[in-house]
Amino acid sequence: MKNPNRGKVVVVTGASAGVGRAVVAEFARQGAYIGLIARGRERLEATKREVEELGGKAIVLPADVADAQQVEAAAERVENELGPIDIWVNDAMTTIFAPFLEITPEEFKRATEVTYLGQVYGTMAALKRMHPRNRGSIVQVGSALAYRSIPLQSAYCGAKHAMVGFTDSIRSELIHNRSAVHITAVMLPAMNTPQFSWCRTRLPRHPQPVAPIFQPEVAARAIVWAASHKRREVYVGWPTVEAIYGQEIAPSFADRYLAKNCYDGQQTSQPVSPDRPDNLFEPVPGDYAAHGIFDNRAKSVSVQSAMNLKLMDLTAHRGVAAIAGIALAGLLVAALRKLG
């Protein structure tokens, strides 16, 4: 099908910028009806106009995902105005870039409430409606950092790790109930999004993603694909695969490597501007969209991701794919042992 999501009702949190904005655009191209959740009405209105230009339909739902009642009210409005929710994408996040000892309890709590509890509350609102109907799809937007943490991002890494544990628990409950509702997680690499320009920081220099960097459209294609394919998890980009399996094989080496390289690696050469915006507790104004400031360094295609999705589309040959994957993993382990 050229437009598998035409006419489907989709909710996206974090819809006004970054990966969420790119996901919205991808669904809009397929003719979906989209509920747009984020805090800032101005950017949500701009996102709605973009959806309509691309052939979709959207409603604006200003809400803070850290507030369960606001999320529930947004879900109720979507079903009243657009119809039963088919797909729910939990993408909203915020964070603080800083050494752990320089983060206040209030800052850590806020980053956790948005990035982790926001996904919990979104999943609650979605399942409340999907479970009785016995249909629907929930996509958790995760990260390689959900499996391999890095310094200076303890709040974000902790929230993404929590999301994996929470999602695994819910998945088992759905299986126990023989539910047709599907929940999946899409793990992302470093993305060129506005978060590095507006998330709170105490670093001396401007934050940056750890290279290699990918454009948000790479993530969006995988997230939209995952919404209609029953896969447990989807890994986007070879760096994500390396991080996740590297953590399994050599976690102590990763600890030391990141301790040595990941402080400078997360900062540009430019000092932090004194008038830098800060969205930790309040949305910030400005014409932010899907992309951040690293367009000249970001890749618009992930060969790994494209090949991975095509391979997973070969549902009639899953056994062959599994055998090939096991063989590849065995070769990798053998190579690492030789190096060790």
Contact 171, 183 (CB under 8 A): yes
Q: Given CA atoms 166, 61, 44, 32 in this order, what sign does their dihedral have? A: positive
Per-residue pLDDT tens over the stretch 245-296: 999 999 999 999 999 999 999 999 999 999 999 999 999 999 899 999 999 9
Residue type, 96: I
Mean pLDDT (the chain, rounded): 92
143-166 average pLDDT score? 98
pLDDT of residue 301: 79
Per-residue pLDDT tens over the stretch 205-214: 999 999 999 9
The residue annotated as part of the active site, out of 147, 156, 235, 288, is: 156
* CA pair distance 85, 76, nearest whole angstrom: 10
Distances (CA, A) of 190 to 167, 204, 239: 22, 21, 8
pLDDT top residue among 319 and 140:
140
177-188 average pLDDT score? 98
* CA pair distance 109, 162, nearest whole angstrom: 13
Please give the full DSSP string across 201-215, using - where no structure is assigned. Answer: E--SEEE-PPSSEE-
Say whether 17 sits in a helix, a strand or coil. Answer: coil
Tell me the domain boundaries of the chain: 9-301
pLDDT band at residue 71 using 50, 70 and 90 as cut-offs: very high
Q: What are phi and psi of 142, to 5 degrees?
A: -110, -155
Instruction: Report domain 9-301's class.
Output: alpha beta
101, exposed or middle or buried, with CB in 10 Å at 0-12, 13-18, 19+? Answer: exposed
Please name the residues in contact with 259: beta carbons below 8 A apart, sequence gap of 6 or more: 151
Residue 116 designated active-site: no
pLDDT of residue 303: 74
pLDDT of residue 133: 98
Per-residue pLDDT tens over the stretch 310-325: 677 665 445 555 555 5
Say which DSSP state 273 is in: P
138-161 average pLDDT score? 98
Please give the full DSSP string across 225-259, using - where no structure is assigned. Answer: HHHTS--SEEE-SHHHHHHHHHHHH-HHHHHHHHH
Per cent of the chain over pLDDT 90 is: 86
225-248 average pLDDT score? 95
pLDDT band at residue 90 using 50, 70 and 90 as cut-offs: very high
pLDDT of residue 320: 53
172-184 average pLDDT score? 98
pLDDT over threshold 50, residue 339: no
Count of CB atoms within 10 A of residue 104's CB? 10
Q: Which of 291, 298, 187, 294 is nearest to 232 (CA)?
A: 187
pLDDT over threshold 70, residue 327: no
Say which DSSP state 112 is in: H
